[in-house]
Amino acid sequence: MTDEILFLGLEAHEKAYALEAMGRWEPKVVRESYRRYNQLTPEQKKQMNAEREQLQLDWAKLIGTDPAAPAPQAVVARWRQSIDFFWSPDAQQLVHLAEMYISDERFRANYDKVDPRLAEYILACVRESVRA
């Protein structure tokens, strides 16, 4: 499948993110992620977005608790499961993804809308998960 077909239907900013991802990470993995996503129905995509938003809210409720505690680690497990749909990162790649939530202003702004401490808390929880 060509990139043109694979990214068909994406809004301009979504296509820009896809092309950026292809430049930053393994293009084969990015293409496979988009292929999987494109096979979802609109309802499945809506559900996936709702689950992502719920993860953020669940983590935000836990800010201030020990990142190694069972409750935040259960959210990490759910987060990891949601990522595995697209890509199966190793422990270090998982940490790098959480670090990007802080270092990339676009991701940071998304988490800051929920709570300005959220990105840092997610990273702390993810780091604890890979220590275990």
Residue 13 per-residue DSSP state = H
Q: Which CATH number fits domain 42-131: 3.40.50.1110, 1.10.490.50, 3.40.50.720, 1.10.10.60?
A: 1.10.490.50
Tokens 């201030």, residue located? 64
Neighbouring C-beta atoms of residue 110, cutoff 10 Å: 15
pLDDT digits (tens, 9 = 90+) for 6-35: 666 667 777 787 778 788 878 888 888 888
DSSP string, 43-80: HHHHHHHHHHHHHHHHHHHHTTS-TTSHHHHHHHHHHH
The pLDDT value given to residue 27: 83
> Is residue 101 a contact partner of residue 119, using CB atoms and an 8 Å limit?
yes
pLDDT digits (tens, 9 = 90+) for 43-95: 998 999 999 999 999 999 999 999 999 999 999 999 999 999 888 889 998 99
CA distance 119 to 100: 9
Residues forming CATH 1.10.490.50 domain(s) in the chain: 42-131
The pLDDT value given to residue 5: 61
List the end-to-end C-alpha distance of the chain, in Å, as a whole number.
40
